[in-house]
Amino acid sequence: MNRWLATIVMIFWILFGLAGGVYFLWTQYTLTGLVEENAALRRRIDMLAEAGWMLENELVKCRLGGTWPHMRGEEKHESKDE
């Protein structure tokens, strides 16, 4: 009787071990997919942030007429102290 009980326990032990291994691999696979998805989303957010920064700079240039003299069409005049 003890031998049959030990056999049944070992069979269940092996089955639960296999099921645990499959579950572990499945979670690693899905987590890897989520990490890759997160990286792609982060790249899109970075691109949008850069586009927003560029648009903001263009708006500032338009409103202020440019932040530097050459942006306003003014030429740099050199002083001649000779």
What pLDDT is attached to residue 82?
47
Residue 8 pLDDT greater than 50, yes or no: yes
The tokens describing 6, both together, are 């030990």
d(CA 73, CA 68): 9
**Residue with the larger pLDDT of the pair 12 and 71:** 12
> Mean pLDDT score of the chain, rounded to an integer?
77
Residue 75 pLDDT greater than 70, yes or no: no
CA angle 7, 8, 12 (to 5 degrees): 115
Count of Cβ atoms closer than 10 Å to residue 14 Cβ: 10
* 15 neighbors 23 (Cβ within 8 angstroms): no
